[in-house]
Amino acid sequence: MRVISPAPHDAWEAIHTADPNALVSQSAAWMNCICYTTGATDASRLYNLGDGRMAVLPLAQTRVAPMFLSSLRSPPSGWGIGGLIANCNLQVEDLCHILDDLARLPHLSISIRPNPLTDQLWASAMHAHVIALPRRAHVLDLVEGFDALWLKRYKHATRTAVRKAEKSGVTIECNSDEKSVIDFHKLYLRSLDRWGAQQHEPRALTHWRGLRRDPIQKLQNISIMSGINCRIYTARVNGEPVAASLLLIGQNAHMTRDVMIKELAGPVRANDLLYNRAIKDACEAGCHYFHMGETGSSISLARFKTGFGAEAYEYAEYRLERLPLTQVDALLRKIVKRIIGFKDTTNDARANEGQH
């Protein structure tokens, strides 16, 4: 097995196009956006597996020197889904060799959040010292087309909610211009206030965490970077934005962010109409799958997604660490949550907002 790092972008894009499960967040263009926005370094790895079989692992290296103190992320937190893409069907043996290669790297830690559809392969190839953090996501198969989804996969309650939104005068816009970014960001700030209140978290801390992860500059870069098809769907009531979602669309669609004013969007079922429009557009664009993002243990969130016919996928984020960083991080988070009286709201009724 031969390795080239960073992966040449022309070969990377060819492999990305050849992989039917590939997402925009696994593309070279997305890596360019990560590096431009965060200052990270492209540390992607191209694996030549022989007989024309090739794979790419998108990896971003943190800006820490020396190298043995830096981390590799596929992708960094808040940047969607990473993991391997390939121009072939990868075998467990292939992934074992790739994990051996990663284990030899000098970095302090390596984290990989793969496509939920490929988790069976990852789980079969795990080394004894790899940490697996359980995750749960929902994915909708679009192979039947929108009309069949509406009639056969959508639940009756979801179809009713979509019709209610239409009758209530909810309108949906789809753009990626500066105005859409600004409206989205305003809704995001409103959502941060609500999340902080629900979790009994100081407002300043909630906003610091939220804006550190998703500053407006990040949204602006995503919307204008070459090679990224980004669509912002905005639901309006009487002309005012009440909900918005950020969709990345390529061979497959991935709804990466949702925000809303709950007291305005909820009663008129704005999110149901918004998702209905996005799913229809993804079908018309020829996407294979519509990824609805992280669900975790939220019952209400799972109910919302399965209403459109999406299926739950249990998968994991995988980490290789030279020190017990995950354990220390979990302990520190537990201590801080106890100090501030943090309330876990993962099972509360909340929209699919910013949790991807």
Q: 3-state secondary structure string, 49-101?
A: EECCEEEEECCEECCCCCHHHCEEEECCCCCCCCCCEECCCCCHHHHHHHHHH
Does 347 score more than 50 pLDDT? no
What band does 355 get if pLDDT is binned at 50, 70 and 90? very low
Tell me the sheet residues that pair with 251.
none
Residue 270's H or E segment, with its range, is helix 270-284
Q: Residue 135, Cβ neighbours under 10 Å: how many?
A: 17
pLDDT at 350: 36
Q: One-letter amino acid identity for 161?
A: A
Say if residues 307 and 92 touch (Cβ distance below 8 Å). Answer: no
d(CA 23, CA 1): 25
Q: Max Cα separation, the chain?
A: 60
What band does 323 get if pLDDT is binned at 50, 70 and 90? confident
Does 86 score more than 80 pLDDT? yes
CA distances (Å), origin 109, targets 60, 95, 131, 241, 285: 12, 18, 11, 41, 38
pLDDT single digits (tens) 150-198 = 999 999 999 999 999 999 999 999 999 999 999 999 999 999 998 888 8
Q: Residue 260, Cβ neighbours under 10 Å: how many?
A: 26
Query: In sequence order, which ranges of 225-343 are alpha helices (DSSP H)?
Result: 262-265, 270-284, 299-306, 325-340
| Residue whose pair of structure tokens reads 């309108």 in the numeric block | 171
Does 113 score more than 60 pLDDT? yes
pLDDT at 344: 65
Do the bridges between strand 289-294 and strand 253-260 make them parallel or antiparallel, or are there none, so unpaired? parallel
pLDDT at 348: 36
d(CA 64, CA 106): 13
Tokens describing residue 347: 């099972």
Say if residues 321 and 131 touch (Cβ distance below 8 Å). Answer: yes
Do the bridges between strand 171-175 and strand 71-74 make them parallel or antiparallel, or are there none, so unpaired? unpaired
Mean pLDDT of 114-141: 92
pTM: 0.92
pLDDT single digits (tens) 209-246 = 899 999 999 999 999 998 999 999 999 999 999 999 99
d(CA 234, CA 183): 8
Residue 319's H or E segment, with its range, is strand 311-321
Tokens describing residue 218: 């990040």
* Cα 113 versus chain centre, distance: 9
Tokens describing residue 244: 């918005």
What band does 109 get if pLDDT is binned at 50, 70 and 90? very high
Does 202 score more than 90 pLDDT? no
Does 351 score more than 50 pLDDT? no
What band does 352 get if pLDDT is binned at 50, 70 and 90? very low
Residue 134, preceding peptide bond in cis (omega within 30° of 0): no
Residue 215, preceding peptide bond in cis (omega within 30° of 0): no
Does 345 score more than 60 pLDDT? no
- Counting every residue written for the chain, the total comes to 356
Tell me the sheet residues that pair with 247.
231, 255
The residue that leads in pLDDT, 70 or 233, is: 233
Indicate if the alpha-carbon torsion angle 225, 272, 253, 98 is positive or negative. Answer: positive
Mean pLDDT of 273-293: 98
Q: What are phi and psi of 280, to 5 degrees?
A: -60, -45
Taking Cα atoms as reference points, which of 133, 135, 131 lies closest to residue 116? 135
Does 47 score more than 70 pLDDT? yes
d(CA 98, CA 104): 10
